């Protein structure tokens, strides 16, 4: 048993991830990536290389899209759930995102307002918790 453990720990395997995980870490829409990226596992070293020196296809995807929903939501200033409530369930290109920003549909304005309220409440709670922690620390002195 000990021999097995020793041989297992002495053998370093390359850490890999599924293409979907790598695409998520890169902030790109997997179906828009090249087939060779989609077809096999991506090593940690390959991911780091893509992040450090993105190839043309990655730069194009990041600039023009189509973008995955988390990126679309961030670019529009809404939550992913807000996108769904607005009827946006697919990846969008940068051009489509800009068109939505220009059109300012009612759902987008409502979701942006909701997101702004959520951010304000998050800040308020952090400030409240910090004040409580400070008050508690002073009481301990």
- In this predicted structure, the answer to whether residue 137 has a pLDDT above a threshold of 80 is yes
Quickly list DSSP for 20-81.
Answer: HHHHHHHT--GGGS-HHHHHS-EEHHHHHHHHHS--HHHHHHHHH-PBPHHHHHHHHTS-HH
Sole residue written with tokens 């070293």: 45
Of 3-7, 56-60, 109-113, give the lowest mean pLDDT range.
3-7
| Percent of the chain whose pLDDT exceeds 90 | 79
pLDDT of residue 12: 53
**78-112 residue pLDDT tens:** 999 999 999 999 999 999 999 999 999 999 999 99
- pLDDT, residue 57, reads 94
């Amino acid at each position: 048993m000990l021999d097995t453990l020793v041989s297992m720990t002495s053998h370093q395997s390359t850490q890999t991830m599924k293409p979907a995980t790598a695409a998520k870490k890169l902030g790109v829409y997997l179906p828009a990536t090249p087939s060779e990226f989609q077809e096999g596992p991506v090593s940690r070293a390959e991911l780091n290389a893509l992040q450090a020196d993105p190839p043309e296809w990655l730069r194009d995807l990041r600039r023009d899209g189509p973008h995955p929903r988390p990126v679309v939501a961030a670019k529009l200033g809404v939550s992913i759930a807000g996108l769904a409530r607005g009827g946006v369930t697919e990846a969008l290109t940068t051009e489509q995102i800009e068109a939505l920003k220009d059109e300012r549909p009612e759902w987008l304005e409502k979701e942006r307002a909701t997101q702004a309220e959520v951010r304000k409440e998050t800040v308020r709670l952090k400030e409240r918790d910090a004040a409580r922690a400070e008050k508690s620390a002073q009481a301990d002195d």
